Amino acid sequence: MKYSGPTIFELGESEALKRAVAVFKRGEHTLVGSGDDAAVIASAGKYVVTTDTMVEGRDFRNDFSSGYDLGYKAVASNVADVAAMGAKPTALVVAVVVTTSTTVAWLEHFAAGLQAGIDNLAPGAEIVGGDIARGTEIVIAVTAHGELSAEPVLRSGAQPGDVVALAGTLGRAACGLDLLLSPDETLAKAYDEWVEVQLRPNPPIALGQLAAGIATAMMDVSDGLSTDATRLAKASGVSIKLSSGSLSGYEAVLELAAQSMVARGFVASERDWVLHGGEDHSLLATFPAGAVLPRGFKVIGEVIAQAAHPLYLDSEPLVAKGWDSVSS
Amino acid sequence: MKYSGPTIFELGESEALKRAVAVFKRGEHTLVGSGDDAAVIASAGKYVVTTDTMVEGRDFRNDFSSGYDLGYKAVASNVADVAAMGAKPTALVVAVVVTTSTTVAWLEHFAAGLQAGIDNLAPGAEIVGGDIARGTEIVIAVTAHGELSAEPVLRSGAQPGDVVALAGTLGRAACGLDLLLSPDETLAKAYDEWVEVQLRPNPPIALGQLAAGIATAMMDVSDGLSTDATRLAKASGVSIKLSSGSLSGYEAVLELAAQSMVARGFVASERDWVLHGGEDHSLLATFPAGAVLPRGFKVIGEVIAQAAHPLYLDSEPLVAKGWDSVSS
C-alpha cells in the first residue's frame, strides 16, 4: 500500500503521536491512559508481561504489509503470548521507530490496525502508551500485559501421560508467506485467505484463559510446531509424540495451495508448513489424560517420558526446523 | 569501546540470549521470570508502565557509549518515568535490535549495564523478559513497570500558589554531550564527571516515591527544563515562573566547562545547558505552598494562574527549546 501526505518528521513527533493516539479506545483496566510519564493499570494481584519486536526487511516487508496489517499483527503476536500464560490481555505499550520518509498516513493506519487487533483479539484492552523514535528502518516493539484469574500456565508443567492439544491453525501463515514470496502474483490472489493469516493472524486468545486451571503446560506456536513443541518438551523435561494422523486435517486445507505452487515450478509442501511454519500463533497445550478439553482444543499427540529426542512424529524423531530471529 | 569475539548472528539468538540473561539477578516482585511466553509480576492493585526507545546514530553513538553505558542509561531513563509517577520500579522488559556485526561481548556488556542500572537505581527490580531481533542499526526499547503505594502523581495536578521544585541535577548531561561532540578530545577528559552523567545518568529515583502523596504534579526532565516545565504547565492549565536565582547553583558547577569550551572557540553556555538540556532525568514537581518537601527537592519557582505564556524565567517568557525525538 502506498501512503502519501506529510511525513512524521515534517509534522513533528508530538502532533503525529496525538493523531495516532486519537484512534485508540479506552480499555477496561486502565486507570491512567497515555499522555503522562507512565500509564496506570489495575491489577488484582499479579500480571503477566511480554515483549516482541518486528523489524522492517526482516520480520516484514512494506510491499506486503500495510501499516494496518503491521499494527494488527503486532497486537496478535503479543496477546498470543499473554494468552499462552492463561491470562486475559489488558494493556499494551508500543514503541515504534520510523524513518524520515514514514508518513503520518502510515502511522494513522498503523494505529487503526493496532486498535482493530485489540477489538478483535483483546476486547477490553488498551494501547496505554507509546514512543516514536527516528531511525533508518521501521521497528515495532510491543509490550503486552494481561491479568490472571488462575495460576499462570508455564511451559514446564507437561507430564508423561498428558495429551498434547492445539487451539488454532497450523501452517497457514507460512503458506501465506510462501505465496507472497512467489514471483507469480496470481498465486497470492488465488489463496488470499492464507495470505491474510500471514498478514493479520487471528490466534484463539480467549481459549488461553479457558485452558488455565486445566492445562499442565502451554505456549504459543510462533516459530513453528516442531520448534515450539521441542521447547515445551525441553522445558518440561519430557518428550512429545505428535500423531501424523491428527495433523492431516491441518494439511488438507493447504493442499491445493501447495499443489498450485508446485505446478508452477515452486517448492511447496503442506506438511512442511504445518510442521515447521510459524506465525499462526496457535496455542499448544498439554492436559492431563481424561481432562475435558476446552472446546477449540484438538488432541494432536501425547507426552511421554524423556526419550532420546525431545520430539517425535509417530515413532520417528522430528527435528526442529523453525525460526531463530537473529540467525535464520 | 571495541568489542571482539563472535557475533550474536554467529552464536545464534537463543544461546546469546542465555548468556545475557545469566547476568540478571532475581527481583523482589517477580513470580515468574524470563524464559516463558511471559513473565509474571506481583502487584498490590495497580501498576505503572512506561516505554522508551533509543536508536543508534540518533539517540546514541557507539563511539561514545559502550554496551554497558547503553544498558545503564536505558534503565535510568525508564525508571525515571516510573519514579515520576511516585512509583517504585519493579520489573523491566528489554527489546533490542542488533546488527549482523554486533558481538556477543557487546550484548553481555549491555546486560551488565542493565543490571548495574537496576542495582544502583532500582534495587529489587528485575529484567524479566526480552527479545532480540536483527536489523541494520541498534535499537533499544525498554518497558518499565512500578508499584504505587499512593495515588499516582500526574502532570496535570499543579495549582496556582504551588511551589515548583526539582530533585536531581540540571544541564550536566547536555554539557557532557557537548564535550563529547567537541573535536577537542581533551575537553571530555578534563570534565569527565559531566560526560559520565550523559553516558550513565543517576536520577533520584527513590525521591519520586517520597514525593507521592505530597506533590500535586510531577514529571521527569528528559527533554530539558524549558520543554518539560512547559508540558507540565500546559497539562495542568497553569503557568510556571522559574526563578533565575534558584538556578544559579546548577549553572555554577558547569561554568568552568563552558568557559573552557569557549576559550577553545566552541559555543557553550551553562545557562543554556541548565534551561534547555535534557537527559539528567531529574524530577520536576509541584507542591502545595507550605508543604514540607522531601529532602532532596529544591524550590526553583512557583505556579501561577494561566498567563499569556506557559513558562517564565523571572518575569520574561521562556520558550521551550528542547528535544523532539523525531523532528529535532
Cβ of B134 and A55 within 8 Å? yes
How far is residue A176's CA from residue A191's CA, in Å, rounded to a whole number? 8
Orientation of helix A104-121 relative to helix A67-83, angle to 10°: 30
Least confident of A129-133, B159-163, B276-280: A129-133
Cβ of B54 and A133 within 8 Å? yes
- SS3 (DSSP) at A191: coil
Closest alpha carbon within chain A to B143: A143
Contact of A206 with A294, CB cutoff 8 Å: no
Cβ of B36 and A154 within 8 Å? yes
How far is residue A240's CA from residue A299's CA, in Å, rounded to a whole number? 12
| Nearest one of B173, B152, B130, B131 to B82, comparing CA atoms | B152
Orientation of helix B255-263 relative to helix B172-181, angle to 10°: 20
Q: What is the 3-state secondary structure (H, E, C) of B26-80?
A: CCCCEEECECECCEEEECCCEEEEEEEEEEECCCECCCCCCHHHHHHHHHHHHHH
- Which residues in A lie closer than 8 A to residue B131 (C-beta atoms)? 51-53, 141, 325
How far is residue B81's CA from residue B49's CA, in Å, rounded to a whole number? 9
Cβ of B55 and A148 within 8 Å? no
What pLDDT, in 10s, does the model give residues A286-324? 999 999 999 999 999 999 999 999 999 999 999 998 655
Distance from the Cα of residue A206 to its chain's centroid? 14
Orientation of helix B67-83 relative to helix B192-199, angle to 10°: 70
The per-residue pLDDT for B328 is 47
How far is residue B56's CA from residue B101's CA, in Å, rounded to a whole number? 14
- Which residues in A lie closer than 8 A to residue B139 (C-beta atoms)? 97, 133, 135, 139, 141
Element (H, E) at A164: strand A163-167
- Which residues in A lie closer than 8 A to residue B79 (C-beta atoms)? none
Other beta carbons within 10 Å of A265: 9
- In the sheet where A217-221 sits, what is the strand order? A217-221, A282-287, A163-167, A297-305, A238-242, A311-313, A316-317
Q: Could you give the percent of chain B with pLDDT greater than 70?
A: 98
Return mean pLDDT, chain B: 96
Cβ of A58 and B141 within 8 Å? no
Testing the interface with B: which of A326, A327, A328 to mutate, by most B Cβ within 10 A?
A: A326
Cβ of A59 and B133 within 8 Å? yes
Buried b (16+ CB within 10 A) or exposed e, A143-153: bbbbbbeeebb
Of B82, B133, B135, the CB nearest to A38: B82
- In the sheet where B46-55 sits, what is the strand order? A30-32, A39-42, B46-55, B139-148, B87-98, B126-134
Other beta carbons within 10 Å of B211: 29
What pLDDT, in 10s, does the model give residues A196-224? 999 999 999 999 999 999 999 999 999 99
Average pLDDT estimate for A93-97: 97
The per-residue pLDDT for A261 is 97
Average pLDDT estimate for B203-211: 98
The per-residue pLDDT for B13 is 82
How far is residue B91's CA from residue A50's CA, in Å, rounded to a whole number? 11
Please say if the pLDDT value at position B324 is more than 70. Answer: no
Cβ of B38 and A50 within 8 Å? yes
Burial class, B99, CB count within 10 angstroms (exposed 0-12 / middle 13-18 / buried 19+): middle
What pLDDT, in 10s, does the model give residues B300-318? 999 999 999 999 999 999 9
Closest alpha carbon within chain A to B40: A48
Q: Could you give the percent of chain B with pLDDT greater than 90?
A: 93
Please say if the pLDDT value at position A46 is more than 60. Answer: yes
Cell of A257: 495451495
User: A2 falls in which pLDDT band (50, 70, 90)?
Assistant: confident
Cβ of B84 and A37 within 8 Å? yes
Close Cβ partners of A92 (under 8 Å, ≥ 6 residues apart): A75, A78, A79, A114, A118, A122, A125, A126, A127, A128, A142, A143, A144, A145
Domain B155-317: assigned CATH number? 3.90.650.10
Cβ of B131 and A85 within 8 Å? no
Beta bridge partners of A145: A49, A91
Please say if the pLDDT value at position A325 is more than 80. Answer: no
Alpha helix (H) residue ranges in chain B = 8-11, 13-21, 67-83, 104-121, 172-181, 185-190, 192-199, 205-211, 225-236, 244-252, 255-263, 270-276
Closest alpha carbon within chain B to A91: B49
Contact of A78 with A142, CB cutoff 8 Å: yes
What are the DSSP calls for B175-189, one per residue? HHHHHHHSS-HHHHH
Cell of A57: 526487511
Q: Could you give the percent of chain A with pLDDT greater than 90?
A: 93
The per-residue pLDDT for A268 is 96
Of A48, A57, A218, the CB nearest to B39: A48
Orientation of helix A255-263 relative to helix A172-181, angle to 10°: 20
How far is residue A299's CA from residue A286's CA, in Å, rounded to a whole number? 9
What pLDDT, in 10s, does the model give residues A164-194? 999 999 999 999 999 999 999 999 999 999 9
| Nearest one of A302, A130, A161 to A229, comparing CA atoms | A302
Cβ of B42 and A46 within 8 Å? yes
Looking at residue B214, what DSSP letter applies?
A: T
Q: How far is B29 from chain A (nearest CA, A)?
A: 9
| Nearest one of A209, A198, A216 to A281, comparing CA atoms | A198
Phi-psi sector, B12: left (phi>0), alpha (psi -120 to 50), beta: left
Q: How far is A164 from chain B (nearest CA, A)?
A: 18
Of A40, A55, A98, the CB nearest to B152: A40
The per-residue pLDDT for A291 is 97
Contact of B147 with B87, CB cutoff 8 Å: yes
What pLDDT, in 10s, does the model give residues A265-289? 999 999 999 999 999 999 999 999 9
Return mean pLDDT, chain A: 96
User: B14 falls in which pLDDT band (50, 70, 90)?
Assistant: confident
End-to-end CA distance of chain A: 27
The per-residue pLDDT for A323 is 59
User: A326 falls in which pLDDT band (50, 70, 90)?
Assistant: low
Cβ of A139 and B136 within 8 Å? no
What pLDDT, in 10s, does the model give residues B78-113? 999 999 999 999 999 999 999 999 999 999 999 999
Question: What is the total residue count of chain A?
Answer: 328
* CATH T-level assignment (fold) for domain B8-148: 60s Ribosomal Protein L30; Chain: A; (3.30.1330)
Decide which of 2.60.210.10, 3.40.50.920, 3.30.70.20, 3.90.650.10 is the CATH code for A163-317.
3.90.650.10
Testing the interface with A: which of B21, B36, B50 to mutate, by most A Cβ within 10 A?
A: B36
Cell of B296: 532532596
Q: How far is A135 from chain B (nearest CA, A)?
A: 6
Testing the interface with A: which of B56, B326, B327, B328 to mutate, by most A Cβ within 10 A?
A: B326
What pLDDT, in 10s, does the model give residues A101-127? 999 999 999 999 999 999 999 999 999
The per-residue pLDDT for B325 is 53
Please say if the pLDDT value at position A328 is more than 50. Answer: no
- Which residues in B lie closer than 8 A to residue A36 (C-beta atoms)? 85, 152, 154-156, 219, 235
Contact of A296 with A167, CB cutoff 8 Å: yes
Beta bridge partners of B119: none
Least confident of A2-11, A295-304, B233-242, B245-254: A2-11
How far is residue A323's CA from residue A325's CA, in Å, rounded to a whole number? 6
Q: What are phi and psi of B79, to 5 degrees?
A: -70, -20
Residue position matching grid coordinates 492493585: B45
Name the residue ranges covered by the structural domains of chain B: 8-148, 155-317
How far is residue A277's CA from residue A177's CA, in Å, rounded to a whole number? 10
